[in-house]
Chain A
């Protein structure tokens, strides 16, 4: 399945300009960002004093204190680093399922959401990395330098296709090897990895990445609309399961799925990651302006997409 050719309309893009991406951790990254850090560096906001060491910048010496105490103190300022924002897009076969129409599939929704996050970041002069993956990392796309680069990013997203199975172990290991500077990491996936997400998520957190798990689910993923005799086919594993689906077994399915979502959320909390369950039945703007903003409010503004 290919990504939709038309991702975001002009009106949506105009509304997205009111948003900004925020994070909670402090990073030592390069200067020039919007969000202040707890680390000292070049900035405008005063942080602390320390003793002058040879080689320090003389321009930062507090000369008033020197005149009074005859000792040299250095003024420290709060750094405003530019944090790289990386978006991991799941392109496994399961992303093409979950909705009766192809346009409403999880993959199409993930592509639109990635495009929206990319545009919001580019507007704030962030560096955006789009990194598709399935069983391994695919070729990435990096964009920075403002909203003018959005068109290239959108074209890149439109070329994406689904294929392969969902596996987080190897792609996350490669991701940590490829991007050693920690930053903000969005993971757009249905997280249907049979080997689980615990270990890869721990690795990401241990390496200092601030992780947002955006769990994208189709309407059929939680509420299967079929009844009767079914032959279920898993496109990733090519497995076939014959079931007789009635209201009882549908309820059991729903409970198992809900338990999966809850376990995913619990593990995200343990790994200091943010988790958001998104249904493709929702409008993209509702997800961006309501659900994601509300999530940041409830968890202490770690992820804030409110209008600025």
Chain B
């Protein structure tokens, strides 16, 4: 007989004070009570024994004994005794049930791997002694404890039956580390010495053994068991499909497809491509045995749409034979030019195909989302993002000092993004205004007389003010002019010239190359626009996507849209030498343990009820009920 919740000392430590209190209450209840009566003339006058003697004598020993027995039974019910724990030490067992994406596949017989794993887990649960405590761990890309250590087999059984495959590949090393940690915690019991006879536990992995990430280290538990399911019947899988916008041409996408051959021999598969359900064509792809191969092609489209790649192959896993990519539409920065002709701005606008210019006569036609370009002499009305060319004094956002002529712009601020790439010492506009830099102004370029290009950035607005007209005949055909204009547009619209790429891959740990990015320049958001945790180290942005979906990453160099919907593929197969490979032999007391605590509690309740009826107020109650019934019968 073993006690699950209390040690014998704890049980006695609870029982003895409670029993002492019960006996004290018993004597208190039997002490003399003062009662007010109408008269004393009818009471029998016998010599009453001394009160002290009465207190020392138990008047109803059976009642006291029944109450003490009921108390002991209730405490035993709380202690949860297990009769099958006679003379044996319990063992801790960690069940690692594979719930990775591979478990959704079927084996050669068409049986799903997760069903096989569940059947093996239940069989293992039935074969271990009921006194053993079991922890259930869901093993996938992020292993987690599904059921903490318990001897309640029903709870573990229900959790096993409710397990479903996740989207991530198995991180078997992390799963075994978690199992080792839980086993150690269970056995250490908070740093106390291990009870004699206890073993260090067993870790049982149930699944096909296909894992990604690090290999399993040895010695995680004193006993490791591997209950292997069937292997998935899969010959080819599309691992990734990515498309990146070509900066040289608007609407041109460089597409790359990566596929893996799971067979032991080389294969050639035909890959079909569709864009918005219209078949684009097909390409053959030869892949060596067990390796990856890729193919590239160019896609030209100006409109957004879905690019679907489908491998024409028959295997047990149809899900990884397809990859879907959402190609976004061309992104162009909208410009509105006030007070200038299209011909004058043509050299400047030729700086990139990403700009969508519009020439307006009146400031009333301006929209807030566009970048406003105020030509020389135009009366500006204030903008959130604006470029000013030689603004009139009264409308100048910066303080104007003086006007100069034929002065070369000799000093450029090399650290400012507006001046990047500009190396023209002979850049000499015919007329210029020299500004006085105010608080918040950054000097981009200046002459000997003073600053001629200023940039100002506040949380609400950004503006670039030129002291000359960039569309003026004296400078517009120089190489620095369109470059300066492009830098100004890029500075005002951060994503205007950033290369765009989209990629379809599997969820889990994601790494994006961002060699030139700083911490402030990186943004990672999910499809709902919520920021998710990420890490920037060694020029790589890393984050964990536990669920399939669309994620957007912005770095200093590019925007990446990730469609993490592809099933994650394992990198290796676990084949341990020292692991047990079969179910343990069924021992006596295995299966659902018999818990006598409800019976003990019910018996205690019955004893208390009998005591109440026989010795307590229930007796008077029953007498009153009988008398009332008799009186009712006598009344005509």
Contacts and interface: CB of A to CB of B under 8 A. Distances in A.
Interface of A: 94, 97-98, 106, 190, 192, 194, 218, 220-221, 224-226, 228-237, 239, 241-244, 249, 252-253, 256-257, 260
* Central interface residue in B34, B43, B620, by most chain A CB within 10 Å: B43
Contacts of A256: 41-44
A228 B48 contact: no
B31 interface: yes
B33 A228 contact: yes
B386 to A, nearest CB: 89
Contacts of A236: 39
A229 B32 contact: yes
A242 B48 CA distance: 6
**Interface of chain A: mostly helix, strand, loop or mixed:** mixed
B44 A97 contact: no
A94 to B, nearest CB: 4
A106 B30 CA distance: 29
Nearest to B45: A241
Given A243-B43, A253-B44, A229 B38 contact: no
Given A194-B39, A228-B32, A256-B41, 12 more contacts: A94-B39, A98-B38, A192-B39, A194-B41, A225-B620, A228-B33, A230-B32, A232-B35, A232-B43, A234-B38, A243-B46, A249-B43
Interface string B22-55: 0000000011111111111111111011010010
B59 interface: yes
A253 B36 CA distance: 15
B37 A233 contact: yes
A97 B39 CA distance: 9
Contact of A249 (B30, B40, B44, B620): B44
Given A228-B59, A229-B32, A242-B32, A220 B44 contact: no
Contacts of B620: 225
A164 to B, nearest CB: 14
11 contacts: A97-B38, A98-B38, A228-B30, A229-B33, A233-B37, A234-B38, A239-B40, A241-B45, A244-B48, A253-B43, A256-B44
Contacts, number: 83
Contacts of B33: 226, 228-231
Given A229-B54, A230-B33, A243 B38 contact: no
Given A228-B30, A229-B54, A235 B43 contact: no
Contacts of B41: 192, 194, 256, 260
* Central interface residue in B31, B39, B40, B49, by most chain A CB within 10 Å: B39
Q: List the 3 shortest-distance A-B pairs measured between CB atoms, nearest first.
A: A229-B32, A256-B42, A97-B38
A74 B51 CA distance: 82
* Central interface residue in A94, A190, A242, by most chain B CB within 10 Å: A242
A280 to B, nearest CB: 12
B37 A243 contact: no
B34 A243 contact: no
A243 B42 contact: no
**Interface of chain B: mostly helix, strand, loop or mixed:** loop
Contacts of B34: 230-231, 233
Given A226-B33, A228-B30, A242-B48, A234 B42 contact: no
Contact of A231 (B32, B38, B42): B32
Contacts of A224: 37
Given A229-B31, A229-B51, A97 B46 contact: no
Nearest to B33: A230
A290 to B, nearest CB: 9
A94 B40 CA distance: 11
A132 B45 CA distance: 33
Contacts of A249: 43-44, 46
B57 to A, nearest CB: 11
A233 B36 contact: yes
A260 B42 contact: yes
* Central interface residue in B31, B34, B40, B54, by most chain A CB within 10 Å: B40
B630 to A, nearest CB: 13
A234 B37 CA distance: 6
A257 B42 contact: yes
Nearest to A93: B38
Contact of A243 (B30, B31, B44, B59): B44
B32 to A, nearest CB: 4
A1 to B, nearest CB: 11
Given A225-B620, A229-B31, A230-B32, A244 B37 contact: no
Nearest to A190: B38
Contacts of B59: 228
A53 B36 CA distance: 67
Given A232-B43, A241-B43, A260-B42, A97 B36 contact: yes
Nearest to A258: B42
A230 B35 contact: yes
Interface in B416-437: none
A237 B39 CA distance: 9
B37 A97 contact: yes
A239 B44 CA distance: 15
A257 B49 CA distance: 24
Contact of A252 (B36, B37, B44): B44
* Central interface residue in A106, A190, A234, A239, by most chain B CB within 10 Å: A234
B38 A218 contact: yes
A235 B36 contact: yes
A248 to B, nearest CB: 9
B48 A94 contact: no
Contact of B40 (A234, A252, A257): A234
